[in-house]
Structures are given as structure tokens and as C-alpha cells.
Amino acid sequence: MLELTGKVAFVAGAGSVGEGWGNGKATAVLMARQGARVYGVDVNLQALDDTGGVMRQEGLTNWTGRACDLTRSDEVKAAVEDCIQRYGRIDILVNNVGGSSPGDPVSMSEETWDAQMDLNLKTAFLGCKHVLPVMERQFAESGKGGAIVNVSSIGCMSFQVEGRVSAAYAASKAGILAFSRSTAIAYVKKGIRVNTVVPGAMHTPLVEHRLVKQLGAQDAQSLIAKRHGSVPMGRMGDAWDVANAVLFLASDEAGYITATQLVVDGGMTAARPGP
């Protein structure tokens, strides 16, 4: 089940912002465990080295890491070309890049708005822009195209996470949903599936690294307890919950699934009132 042997996975955002397991790091390691050759990219070379260290500790040799600013088309193109030179193909693309900046349209600067759009939405566009032709060519040659999984957030749905307003983050992550569906239909007859994973409140290093300061919490533990209490299941998820969802949608077992979204939130969106 969910076997990836013989497949090549290009994972964008394969590092983690701090110690522990971020979504991209867990996804890269999980796919390598399942037999894929994983080409991981991240803007932070040290974070990539940490992911590679885990691979080495587990005896996983099917890993290559490359520093890449995923908001720059030339760097993404070069990374995709290097992956092809090393492994000959790309069967799976995971676009897992993002971050939030608080603010409403008046309080937020134009520079912050543009940076959020680049980080959260343009990165997925560029990943698809440079990988889709590879997958399309593979389908023409062998009848096997590929699978793309983009990562959004419940922050783009009918409520603001933790009561804060993050207008650009919400808009850009909502854009991921529309972008994924549109791209899926554009390539559905070319052997390429495109789906979205939509995480809810997750306990990843981002909580301690960024959210404590952004939300003005007194300390990390009080924020973690509050976030646990906001989830109907009584706890936040973690990076492995996201990674397992990504793995499923990328696998052959999900071969009849495209243009859809898999919400991984412990019931948060169902429990909140709609607009």
C-alpha cells in the first residue's frame, strides 16, 4: 500500500523552520521511506541539511537536497533540470511552501501583500510551470504522467484561525484551491492529477518559531494548550498527519482522484459556523 518504489518526488519546502518535524520535512522523509527517490528543495540550506541528516540516520540514500528560492522562476527551473539530470523523471510534485503575515487590507503594506502572494501562491505556480511539461512528456512517452499535491490551509476558509486577520494569507491559500482545480482539469487528459491538502491547526516548529510572537502569546506552552483546545478532537495534528495525506494523494491508490481537496483539521472547519 502507498508504495512509491521507482518514482521520483520533487518536494518544495523540504526543510523545517526549526528543530522537529515540519510538513515538508516529514513529507520528504515519508516518501523516501516508501521507496521514492526524493529531490528536496528549500530556501534554507541548513534546513535541507537537517532533512538529509535524518535520511542518512535511517539509511535512506535516495535523497538529494538543493537550496532554491522557490519564488524565483530561474532557480526553480534550474532545480527541475538538475532533478531530471540526476533521476531522469519527476512523478510527484509537492508544493509545500508558505507562511502567514497578519493584517487587514488597510493595516497591511503593499510589500507584505506582494510577498505573501509570492510565497504562498507564486511558488506553487512556478513549481507547476516547470514540472508540468516534464510530466506531460512522460505521459506521451509511457502513458504515465504524474501527481501534484499543493498545500493550502483552513485559514482560507470561513473563519480566521486564532481570531487573527491575515487577509493576504487567506487570499493566497484560497488561490491555491482554485489554482489546483483549474490546473487539474487542464491536464486531466494528459495523465496528470492535481489535488490539495488543507491542514488545520498543526503542532509543527512554526508554533514556537513564529506564532508565539505573531499572536502575542505569553509563552509557547499556553499557546499550544489553547490551540489543542480549539480542535474538536482535543489536540492539534502534526506534520505526519499532513505528510500521510500528501502521500495518499500522490500514490497510485488515489489514481481516480483529481481536482479535489483533503482537509486535515481534526474537525475544525465542520465545527465552526459558516459565513
Backbone angles phi, psi at 150, to 5 degrees: -100, 150
For residues 138 and 145, give the distance between their C-alpha atoms in angstroms, rounded to a whole number: 5
For residues 164 and 25, give the distance between their C-alpha atoms in angstroms, rounded to a whole number: 27
Nearest residue to 68 (alpha-carbon basis) of 149, 135, 151, 130: 130
For residues 247 and 129, give the distance between their C-alpha atoms in angstroms, rounded to a whole number: 22
Q: Are 123 and 97 in contact (CB under 8 A)?
A: yes
Backbone angles phi, psi at 40, to 5 degrees: -105, 135
How crowded is residue 84: how many other Cβ atoms within 10 Å of its Cβ?
17
Q: Are 92 and 10 in contact (CB under 8 A)?
A: yes
218, exposed or middle or buried, with CB in 10 Å at 0-12, 13-18, 19+?
A: exposed
What is the set of active-site residues? Answer: 169
SS3 state of residue 237: strand
Nearest residue to 147 (alpha-carbon basis) of 82, 63, 89: 89
For residues 262 and 4, give the distance between their C-alpha atoms in angstroms, rounded to a whole number: 20
Amino acid at 223: L
SS3 state of residue 248: helix
Please name the residues in contact with 38: beta carbons below 8 A apart, sequence gap of 6 or more. Answer: 8, 9, 11, 14, 28, 31, 32, 55, 62, 63, 64
